[in-house]
Structure 1
Amino acid sequence: MNNKYDLIIIGAGVLGAFHAYHALKMGYTVLMVEKDYQPQEATVRNFGQVVPSGMNSKWQAYGRESLKIYKEIQAITDISIRQNGSVYLASDEQEEALLDELCAINKTNDYASIRWSKTECLTKFSGLRSDYVRSGLYFPDEVTVEPDRMIHQFLDYLVTSLGLSLVTNQLVIHCEEVNGQVEVHTAGGTCFLGAKALVCSGRDFKALFPEIFLNSDLEVSKLQMMKTISQGKEYSLPGSILTGWSIRRYEAFAECPSFAAIKALENENSPQKKWGVHILFKQAEDGSVIIGDSHQYADASSVETLGFDLDMAIDDFMIAEARKIIELPTYEIGQRWWGMYSQCKTSDIFQKNIGNTIQILTGIGGKGMTGSAGFSKENIKSILNSK
């Protein structure tokens, strides 16, 4: 292992990992420093849905590029990618109108989407309730990942096949430009030198550049998710299933002509609004079904106010609503967890350059698993001053 690199990346989550991937493919030497034994936070505590369909036009473009990249890597090595599509299920006339409008937008964007009738939805998904669904919008090109193993397999590929230098269990305590290069010091007493540095972990950002952090507009969202026990070998729920509340929440639908008027009619005092719930389903490889999720917000500087427990009232509410949508063989819960991600209040990602050598990049919000691969392909060129 050298002590000098073209690029040092602090944080081994999905955003940092894909910056490493693109830099390595371009022939640069890259060191990644991770404070834990392996990534512990948002990259492994998410739903595992890669859904460009849910994003605004700018980030849909990044997401579509991400799909290509995921599939290219999966063709070389297994990182748990499964192309089984995504579907949005409408439960009323308003949601159907939004599906029609989004389908039209995607025709203009040349992004494949197919309107499904009620009968087609019921035929596709075993247990889907006839009294819930009216129709659907299907995106055949979208994929799912297993977040509890994708990043680990991807990092292994970067190390063994592309030459990434990966240091784990090393807390970075200092990062600054000295004489035109970056010095990165760890708590273990090691100093690494780099031409450029990228800080991709919110917690490292907070510790390394506290004044910038406190003056940022970052906020944190706490999400609760759960997973049933295995549904058995006979039951299959293919793809990502997003429901009416997702239609009413996701950025893509905000570009629909009817969206603002429909949102204005919603009950602001409902539990759904209070807890930021929209019901999603995804079957994991072990046959279990992941159900979620909720969103509670706090400024990043006061994240502790969100607490570190699971609010069982939220879980009970999500299960009750999920039962109204799909009848699973069992709703026995085998695992519950929460995760946190940061996002900006006024922009789509937090990006700040310190001099000519250090970039802080965080606050990608819920776009990380879908948008990181495509966004990183573009952003790495500006970091490394490469065409």
Structure 2
Amino acid sequence: MNTKYDLIVIGGGVLGTFHAYHALQKGLKVAIIEKDKLPVSATVRNFGQVVPSGMDTKWQNYGRESLKIYNDIQSQFDISIRKNGSVYLASNNEEVQLIEELSIINKNNGYESLLLTKEQCLEKYPGLRNDYVKAGLFFPEEVTVEPRIMINRLLEFLIKNKGLVYFGNTKVVRCDSLLNEVAVITGNGEIHKTSKVILCCGSEFKTLYPDVFAKSDLEVTKLQMLQTKPQPNYQLNGSILTGLSIRRYEAFYECPSFDGIKAKEAPDSFEKEWGVHILFKQATDGSVIIGDSHEYADAANIDDLGFDLRMDVDEFMIAEAKKIFNLPTFEIQNRWYGMYSQCKENDIFECTIENNIHIVTGIGGKGMTGSAGFSKENIKNIFNLK
């Protein structure tokens, strides 16, 4: 192969694709090599919420930058972005206190949010139960996406409009560091030369660099989600996050009352055992997606998580969802799980091998929200750009 690239990204998920996007924006010649025809892993199996509001200050800043990037791309090419806001619904006085404290933190951060009264929540969100909600915190700038649509359209946009070279159904079997470049060898015997490699695929990280993988602190999270049948004559706008989300998301860790409130929770509750917090999002077909749960294993022991869905977890999520919303139907048409990797000690895994091979993975549940903003900064750092 005679083409020489400035960057080859291994892995066409949201983290890899946004690294490619920002490199292309800087005028670099970029290729993505994806082991499947199109991405099939964490990027397309998540909830589709872009919620910087749920992140700590560092990643909220990346998420806010991501919002700008999503909106800019959407203005040029439809990638399924809907600017319909996010809300956290408090179900008791402790959760009200936390959203009030978070609203002050956001005000100091310059991130727009709006406290909603119980009555405003009931008016804004049809079907919301009067006996559940006490107040809400609304973030008008946040967006939702359809994950299985978004990544494919984003790749299409980069190929058609930005000059991305995309190799699907292509497995990388080796990366050889040469003097000032890297030779990327694929399973079909092709050799692609590039100045830099960014490896964003966890499974190929494991096969290409097993020793580094074995020493990493990566763990894998398995999440269960459900999708109702389309809701007749019903519209639920935006991302709906509820009391258990308030008690779980990192943004609330910065609230003065958080530690004291968490200390009073029952340590052996079902929701703690399976990491359940209740989210709602209406898809474009009118169905409502409900989730989710969290089950963990070291990345080296991913098989311990199995491939079955736990019906007791699904049944618990449905029962809790019914306490929050009276939907026209709770009949379930789809159930699935997603998996993503994250670090136990760090917020993302980064490792450089022989100067020009950069492993960037383990972004965890921050991927859909934070990848676009993080990748912009990371491309500048890797290529020493201003």
- TM-score when scaled to structure 2? 0.99
Report whether the alignment pairs 1:179 with 2:194. Answer: no
* Counterpart position of 1:313: 312
Q: Report the alpha carbon displacement of residue 148 of structure 1 after superposing the two structures with TM.
A: 1.1
Deviation by residue 1:56-109 (Cα, 9 ceiling, x = unmatched)? 000000000000000000000000000000000000011000001000000000
Q: Which residue of 1 aligns with 2:55?
A: 55
Q: Give the secondary structure class of the aligned counterpart of 1:83.
A: coil
Q: Quote the residue 2:68 is aligned against.
A: 68
Structure 2 counterpart of 1:257: 256
Aligned equivalent of 1:289? 288
The amino acid across from 2:236 in the alignment is: L
Q: Secondary structure at the match of 1:219?
A: strand
**CA RMSD after TM alignment:** 0.7
> Contact between 1:32 and 1:167, CA under 8 Å: does it hold in 2?
yes
Deviations 1:183-222 (A, max 9, x none): 1111111010100000000001000000000000000000
Alignment partners' CA distance in 1, 2:362 and 2:265: 28
CA distance in 2, matches of 1:40, 1:137: 33
2:34 matched to which residue of 1? 34
Q: Which runs of 5+ in 2 are unaligned?
A: none
Q: Which position in structure 1 is the counterpart of 2:326?
A: 327
- Where 1:43 maps in the other structure, the secondary structure is helix
Residues 371 and 177 (structure 1 numbering): CA distance in 2 closer, same or farther, change over 3 Å? same
Q: How does 1:1-387 map to 2 (within 5 A)?
A: 3-232=3-232, 234-387=233-386
**Structure 2 CA distance, aligned partners of 1:108 and 1:87?**
19
Conserved? CA contact 1:94–1:262, under 8 Å: yes
Can you list the C-alpha shifts for 1:28-53, whole angstroms capped at 9, x where unaligned?
00010000011000000000000000
Identity of aligned residues (%): 62
CA contact (8 A) 1:113 1:139 kept: yes
CA distance in 2, matches of 1:305, 1:261: 34
Residue 385 of structure 1: CA displacement? 2.0
The SS at the match of 1:116 is strand
User: Which AA in structure 2 matches 1:212?
Assistant: V
CA contact (8 A) 1:3 1:191 kept: no
Deviation at 1:285, TM superposition (A): 0.4
Contact persistence 1:11–1:35 (CA under 8 A): yes
Q: How many residues align?
A: 386
Once the two structures are superposed, residues 310-356 of structure 1 have per-residue CA deviations (whole angstroms, 9 ceiling, x without a partner) of 11111001000000000100000011100000000001000011121
| Structure 1 unaligned regions, length at least 5 | none
SS of residue in 1 equivalent to 2:43 = coil
SS in 2 for 1:137: strand
Q: Partners of 2:38 and 2:350 in 1: how far apart?
A: 24
Amino acid across the alignment from 2:106: N
> For residue 152 of structure 1, what is the amino acid of its counterpart?
N
Q: Distance in 2 between matches of 1:175 and 1:146?
A: 33
Mapped to 2, the partners of 1:180 and 1:262 lie a distance apart of 54
CA positional deviation for 1:179:
1.9
| Partner SS for 2:44 | coil
Letter in 2 for 1:67: L
Letter in 2 for 1:16: G
- Write the letter of the residue equivalent to 1:12: G
Tell me if structure 2 keeps the 8 A contact 1:174–1:208: yes
Displacement after TM superposition at 1:176 (Å):
2.6
Q: Secondary structure of the equivalent of 2:174? A: strand
Render the CA deviation track for 1:241-288: whole Å, top value 9, x for unaligned.
000000000000000000001111111111100100000000000000
Quick check: 1:173–1:187 contact (8 Å CA) kept in 2? yes
Distance across 2 between alignment mates of 1:110 and 1:381: 25
What CA distance in whole angstroms lies between the structure 1 residues aligned with 2:265 and 2:371? 32
What's the offset of the Cα at 1:3?
2.9
Instruction: Give, in whole Å, the separation in 2 of the partners of 1:31 and 1:255.
Output: 40
SS in 2 for 1:223: strand
The residue identity in structure 1 corresponding to 2:181 is: Q
> Where has structure 1 moved over 2 Å in runs of 4 or more?
none
Deviation at 1:2, TM superposition (A): 5.1
Kept in 2: contact 1:277–1:318 (CA 8 A): yes
- State TM-score, norm by structure 1: 0.99
SS of aligned partner of 2:297:
strand
Q: Is the 8 A contact 1:9 1:32 kept in 2?
A: yes
SS in 2 for 1:297: strand
Task: Determine the C-alpha separation between the residues in 1 that align with 2:265 and 2:173.
Answer: 47
Counterpart CA distance in 2 for 1:40 and 1:2 is 30
Q: Partner letter of residue 8 of structure 1? A: I
Structure 2 Cα separation of the partners of residues 2 and 345 of structure 1: 41
Verify the 8 A CA contact 1:241 1:281 in the aligned structure 2: yes
